[in-house]
Structure 1
């Protein structure tokens, strides 16, 4: 099990590595989207991919996960320059605030959580542990 950094995606959405400076229609109307880390970025082929994401457990904070919540997110960006070096290191997904708040209790200040994600067009299943930090 890997320990990875996860933070809600920074709200400066445009331009994106996937779609450049196009209008905001690139984002799903549900606001369930994410930036991909290098592990799934694959030189940009991750753009537009959809993943089912679920918070499984927290290793340090009880009730950090919103149990039984599975969401479908769309990859719209690469973590690259958006994240600080510390928070981006080994990060697989930076979730939009809406996506993050749907699967995890956003009032939790900092915790390690186990997240399960699966590419919707594939039967491959991944289980990873992520660290998320919420700050104003």
Structure 2
């Protein structure tokens, strides 16, 4: 009898070794239970873990082996309120507006995304800051922001030079 497990099931995932030059990428003995919730056609790996799942089993410096969704980010300046999701309620500086790709008929409101700059779009050399990533909360809708995600200027400046204006990003819902 052949055992068939649905792809949309729960899986226990454990880091077993490196595929790049990051020394000791795995957290000793750590594993995480994950549920497959989406298909990632552009991923180079077998499974695409969320930021939280990956960081629970491996050193985040090895995260370049993982693949999030890719798109572009722009930024907007204060005031960050009112917003399409929460009106005049202020959620701080690390917020973003969602394009149609993320918006999903307001279902994106309140969700959080890990965002990392992976390259430039304009002619600004080396726009990314040290490969850092940050987590933002979706508080607004941006139908015409000319990017996948419209970061607050405070968030954008933590991962890239503001003068870049628009950057390539990797992003994952967390």
Shorter-chain-normalised TM-score: which range?
0.5 to 0.7
TM-score normalised by length of structure 1: 0.66
Q: Could you list the runs of 5+ residues in structure 1 that have no partner in the other structure? A: 121-136
1:55-70 mapped onto 2 (5 Å cutoff)? 55-59=117-121, 60-70=123-133
Does 1:119 find its partner at 2:173? yes
**Structure 2 matches for 1:27-38, cutoff 5 A?**
27-28=91-92, 31-38=93-100
Counterparts of residues 46-85 of structure 1 (less than 5 Å): 46-59=108-121, 60-80=123-143, 85=144
1:126 aligned partner:
none
Cα distance, 1:5 vs. partner? 6.2
- Residues 36, 53 of structure 1: CA spacing in aligned structure 2 closer, same or farther, 3 A cutoff? same
2:109 and 2:96 map into 1 onto residues whose CA distance is 10
For 1:7 and 1:49, locate their aligned partners in 2 and report how far apart those are by CA, in whole Å.
Answer: 18
Q: Tell me: higher relative CO, structure 1 or 2? Use CA pairs within 8 A at least 6 residues apart.
A: 1
Which runs of 4 or more aligned residues in structure 1 lie more than 6 Å from their structure 2 counterparts after TM superposition?
A: none
Matched, 1:92 2:148: yes
More strand by share: 1
**What is the alpha-carbon distance in structure 1 between the residues aligned to residue 152 and residue 72 of structure 2?**
14
Task: Report the count of equivalent residues.
Answer: 105
Distance 2:76 2:154 in 1: 9
TM-score for the superposition, normalised by structure 2: 0.53
1:10 lines up with 2:77 in the alignment: yes
CA RMSD of aligned residues (A): 2.4
> Could you tell me how far apart the structure 2 residues matched to 1:98 and 1:20 are?
20
- Is it true that 1:102 corresponds to 2:158 in the alignment? yes
Deviations 1:38-91 (A, max 9, x none): 1110000000110000001225432211022110010001114xxxx5xx34x2
